[in-house]
Chains A and B, each alone.
Chain A
Amino acid sequence: NAGVTQTPKFQVLKTGQSMTLQCAQDMNHEYMSWYRQDPGMGLRLIHYSVGAGITDQGEVPNGYNVSRSTTEDFPLRLLSAAPSQTSVYFCASRRTGFNYGYTFGSGTRLTVV
């Protein structure tokens, strides 16, 4: 099992550019989430999904879109990058049931200039 794979690991964007952060998991987990972590801060929930075709907003959804066409993939799209979106982005997944925790990816470090 590869677990949760995030690509790219690093990215620099210019203001106004768009891009997609990729997240894939091979554990057949139903639940997936995207978080951002600003320097010295805790994680903030952007969007989450409880299964293929179902997504919902978290704490800080503005400027981001998600879709979940398959169980495995949960891409995060930045529509028009802004310097305020400079952050480390983490994707996480877990299976149904309360005896399991989330598995996190290693993160994508995004800088918007």
Chain B
Amino acid sequence: DAKTTQPNSMESNEEEPVHLPCNHSTISGTDYIHWYRQLPSQGPEYVIHGLTSNVNNRMASLAIAEDRKSSTLILHRATLRDAAVYYCILSTSGTYKYIFGTGTRLKVLA
């Protein structure tokens, strides 16, 4: 299974954009990139996913490097409720076996 590497923690000021990086240098051509987040004392929740093109939804944007060896989750205006652990996950097309890493703990400062 392809691995992902994320910083252990990041800080951001409230109402500022946040860019959460993820490296996945061993990604294969059929691996999808998924992002989930886990709020304190809750189960993870889906944020966004993509394959090759950048993706936007109501929660965030996903920017995927042209060589697909890295990606960035973008929160356009961080709020205190965005404080969570963010996980970058790869899944191979045709399977739904997600392997979580340790994620990035995002702290949002008021």
Contact = CB atoms under 8 A, between A and B. Distances in A.
A16 interface: no
Nearest to A97: B96
Interface range for B: 20 to 34
Interface residues of A, number: 24
Contacts of B46: 101-103
A101 B99 contact: no
Give the dominant DSSP class at B's interface: loop
B13 to A, nearest CB: 25
A42 B87 contact: yes
A106 B49 contact: no
Interface of A: 31, 33, 35, 41-45, 48, 50, 56, 58-59, 90, 92, 94, 98, 101-107
